[in-house]
Amino acid sequence: MNRTLKIYIAFFVLIVIGIIVIDANRKKPIDWTTSYATKDKIPFGLYVLDKEIDSLLPKQKVQRFNGTLYEYLDPKYNSADSTYNVKGTILMISENNEFDEPSLNELIWFVEHGNTAFLSMKDFPQKLMDTLNTDFGNQYSLTDSVYFNLTNDVFSHQKYTFKKGASRSYFSKTDSLKTTVLGHQEIDTAKFVNFIKVPYGRGHFYLHTQPAVFSNYYLLNKNTASYCANILSYLPKGTVFWQARGYKNDELSGSPMRYILSQPALKWAWYLFLIGMLTFIIFNAKRRQRIIPIEVPLQNTTVDFTKTIGNLYLQEGNHYVIIDKKIIYFLEKIRTDYLIDTFNLDDTFINRLHQKTGKDKTDIEYVVRLIKKHRNNMESTEKDVIEISKAIEKLK
């Protein structure tokens, strides 16, 4: 190792030590990120709720899960009985709605089958709002304080004052014939609905626009902690399935680099190390790899083979076999992609496929009718091939 390189390394080490010393003596700022993660002890994490939820729901079993609703609920659906193997309440607390379309459809289906969903977030999917004939808006104000109360006389209409993290979202439209108003928020002396109960199918949705009330910041405040307990008392007796998120970034939670990247001093030390190593490689490394010869990739003849087989069927005029194979491929794709049983092409099959794909129900019924027609006939024409091909293509 030459003298110049030693000087570079020593200079780099001194910079890293200096950054660590300066950062260690600096007061760490409060992280006000609204993570709503069960392992976060920051003000708007759910660490306290995670530890206390069993005492807040003493006669109920709480099952935590981390992942999408679709991944959690779909395996619990019994297609033979057209019902779920579990009963209970889905509990979700987040800053904003984070639903993917399959998860939202699965949640609606779950509630329709006699279960409950409790959602506390600052906004909700528009599809859910349309389904429940409800809408929400935002009220801007000149003051920081927001006052909450519950309508039930048991709580004596007590007002709770919230400032940091309080949402200005409220329900601007509800179906008065079905919706039960459970709570209000008061902003600049104006009162708005922020907590409602809406029946759907054989179940109910509880929608709440203030997720901050469940955070560490307000649960550790004796003046506001009771509001959280009062809201949770509305949950029906039974099992609660809580979508409990982990750290602020779940993708980093299992990585050895997570702690280093979460500390500013260590993070910059790591970046400087990478920059230093890159500089060293650029100015000192030599090319030692031999030239890689060009290899001609193997030709994919699958498409040509498929065309040849298709032409053989057309030349022989065997339209029945062509349709039969199209149906087999179509049903196999449904079983693989959507995990739907295709043994009985009945109304249950049609409804499940409609829920999971979002395709027009009329188009699905049309395809099912053509499949049944084909199975009852022993001969088919070229017109039949074109008709069922177009119908299946609309569902892809």
**Pairing between strand 116-120 and 89-93?**
parallel
User: Helices 361-376 and 382-394: crossing angle, nearest 10°?
Assistant: 150
Query: For residue 359, how many other CB atoms are within 10 A of its CB?
Result: 15
Q: Is the distance from CB of 238 to CB of 88 less than 8 angstroms?
A: yes
- Provide the pLDDT confidence category of residue 379 given band limits of 50, 70 and 90: confident
Inter-axis angle of helices 347-357 and 361-376, nearest 10:
140
H or E segment to which residue 137 belongs: strand 135-138
Whether 250 has a pLDDT exceeding 50, the answer reads: no
**Residue ranges of domains in the chain, CATH in brackets:** 3-27+254-279 (no CATH), 47-243 (3.40.50), 302-394 (no CATH)
Q: Which residues pair with 190 in a beta bridge?
A: 187
CB under 8 Å to 149, separation ≥6 — which residues? 155, 157, 158, 159, 160, 183, 184, 186
Residue 198's pLDDT is 97
Helix axes 47-56, 225-232, angle to 10 degrees: 50
| Residues facing residue 119 across a β-bridge | 92, 207
Nearest-angstrom CA–CA distance, 36 and 336: 35
pLDDT confidence of residue 285: 58
Kindly state the helix (H) or strand (E) to which residue 65 belongs, with its residue range. Answer: strand 62-65
Lowest mean pLDDT among 22-36, 49-63, 79-93, 352-366: 22-36
Q: Select the highest-mean-pLDDT range: 236-245, 294-303, 309-318, 320-329.
A: 236-245
CB 391 within 8 A of CB 362: no
